[in-house]
Amino acid sequence: MDFTWDFSAVLQHWPVLLKGVGVTAGLWAVAFPSAMAIGLLVALGARSKSRLVGAATRGYMELFRNIPILIQLVWFFYAFPILTGWQLTPYVAALLALSLNASAYCSEIFRGGIASLPAGQWEGARALGMRRVQVLRRVVLPQVLKRMLPAFTNRGIELAKNTSIASVIAVHELMYQGRALSAAYYRPLEILTAVAVVYFVLIYPGAYAASRLEKRLASRSH
């Protein structure tokens, strides 16, 4: 097959891709902290003595972990407004889908980390008169966050890759801009190759740091 690579469209329109990078970074910067905050609340709910709260939070985790994120994204953009009467912008719908999906995985990380701590530490802290929030903030999280850090880093990397599906509902992130340029200039191979390189440059440092951190923590535990 006779094919000549031509990256002129990429070189001429790199500001468009750069704008997409900014939107991608914005999605991640809001969705990931939101996912961690929601995930912590869900993990605590799963440990609740109330059967209703425990069942509801476990159901939440299973719901968002077992439905493809693409379906969740489309549902929030198209079905949610029909059910509630609140029309969401593509950006807000993407944030909701990405945050809630990632929170289900973050909650499992929190749950496992908290469960790894001996129950006696909870009981001892409560016996000293500390409230549940104080126990969590002063006793539990300082001990388990370091163990959970590699898992959270990997989850953040996965979320960064998942932002690309927001292009399906016309959020102008990196993948959307790449597809738009491909359609306009009929050079999909070159443009999407450039998009892939940009994603790699954005994501690989985090993946490398996570790998190094995991090895360092493993060596300290021996």
Q: What does the pLDDT look like over 112-153, one tens digit per residue?
A: 888 877 767 767 776 777 777 777 777 788 788 888 888 899
| pLDDT at residue 11 in the model | 92
Q: What does the pLDDT look like over 91-111, one tens digit per residue?
A: 999 999 999 999 999 999 998
Q: Once rounded to an integer, what is the mean pLDDT over residues 68-83?
A: 96
Whole-prediction pTM: 0.89
In this structure, what token pair is assigned to residue 92?
A: 């807000």
| pLDDT at residue 78 in the model | 96
Query: Among the listed ranges 51-65, 75-89, 98-112, 203-217, which one has the minimum average pLDDT value?
Result: 203-217
96 vs 213, residue with greater confidence: 96
Alpha helices in the chain (DSSP H): 8-12, 14-46, 51-65, 69-74, 80-84, 90-115, 119-127, 132-135, 141-162, 174-185, 188-221
| pLDDT at residue 71 in the model | 97
| pLDDT at residue 139 in the model | 78
CA 105 to chain centre: 9
| pLDDT at residue 164 in the model | 96
Q: What does the pLDDT look like over 1-48, one tens digit per residue?
A: 678 899 999 999 999 999 999 999 999 999 999 999 999 999 989 888
Buried b or exposed e, range 153-184, using 16+ CB within 10 angstroms: bbbbbebbebbbbbbbbebbbbbbbbbbbbee
Instruction: Give 58: exposed, middle or buried? Use CB within 10 Å, 0-12, 13-18, 19+.
Output: middle
- Kindly give, in sequence order, each residue whose CB lies less than 8 Å from that of residue 194, ignoring residues fewer than 6 positions away: 7, 10, 17, 178
Rounded Cα gap, residues 165 and 179, in angstroms:
12
Contacts 24+ apart (CB under 8 A), 179-182: 180/16, 181/9, 181/10, 181/13, 181/16, 181/17
Instruction: Check pLDDT > 60 for residue 210.
Output: yes
CATH 1.10.3720.10 fits 8-221, yes or no: yes
Amino acid symbol at 215: K
161 vs 121, residue with greater confidence: 161
Task: Give me the chain's average pLDDT, please.
Answer: 90
